Copies of this chain bind each other. A is one copy, B any other.
Amino acid sequence: REATEMMEQIVHWVREVPSGLGRPLLAGTPAAEPMAVPMMLLSLVAQLGAEDEALMHRYAELGDWCTQRILRHVQRDGQTVLENVSEDGQELPGCLGRHQNPGHTLEAGWFLLEHASRKGDPELRAHVIEKFLLLPFRSGWDPEHGGLFYFQDADGLCPTQLEWDMKLWWPHCEAMIAFLMGYRDSGDPALLRLFEQVAEYTFRQFRDPDHGEWFGYLNREGKVALTIKGGPFKGCFHVPRCLALCEEIAL
C-alpha cells in the first residue's frame, strides 16, 4: 500500500541517491551526514513495524542499519554526540562538525531505546542511556536558568546560530519521553528524577495557564519570546506525542 511504497522510496533516497531529501545541494557544500536522516528513518521503521509483524521483519535489518548510523555520531572517545559527521563517520572540521543539538540527541535516544527493547538488547540500552540521555542533559541543561539550550558547540565555543540559547518546547518534550522511557526500561531512579526536573521546568515555563496550549519559544531566561502557539515549525505534533507517550509509559 501507499505507506510501504513511500518507505521504499525514502530508503532509496537515504541509502543510495540522496537527491529527493532536503534541498538541492550547492557546489562546495561539505558532504555531511546529519543525524536527522537515520533517526527519522528509524522512527519510520518503528511506526510501520508496530502495526504489522510482516513489515517488522521486513525492516529489521534497516532498523539495525539506522542504529549503527546514529551511533556513529557518538564522537571523541564517547564523550560527546555531534549532530553532523562525515559520510565515513568521522568528526567534520569547523563549527559544522562541532554543532550539537541536545533535544535532537535526546529524541534519537528514545528512538534507540525503543529499538533496544524490540531487540531485547540491554547492552545497547545502557550505551544509549549513557550517551544519548545523560551526556546531552549534562552539557545541554542551563545551570543558571534551567531548560535545555537549543544548540551548543562541542568545544564550548559560541555557536553561530542566533537562537542557540533559546529554550524551545520540543527538546523538552523529547527529554521527558526519553527519561521516562529510560526509567521504565532500566529501573534507574536517577532517570525518573531527571524526568521530574524536565517536566517541572516544562509545565512551569511553556504552559499558558490563561489560554491553554504551550508557548513554543522562550528566551534564555525563560520569558516568552514568541507569542505564537503554532507556526512553521510548531504544529500539533510534539506536545501530544509527548503527553500520550508519557501516559502510555506511566500506565
Contacts and interface: CB of A to CB of B under 8 A. Distances in A.
A93 interface: no
Contact of A226 (B23, B164, B166, B228): B164
Interface residues of A, number: 20
B232 A158 contact: no
A166 B163 CA distance: 9
Contacts of A228: 158, 160
* Number of copies of chain A assembled together: 2
B165 A225 contact: yes
A195 interface: no
B166 A162 contact: yes
A170 interface: no
Contacts of A212: none
A227 interface: yes
A217 B219 CA distance: 14
Interface in A7-58: 23-24, 26
A231 interface: yes
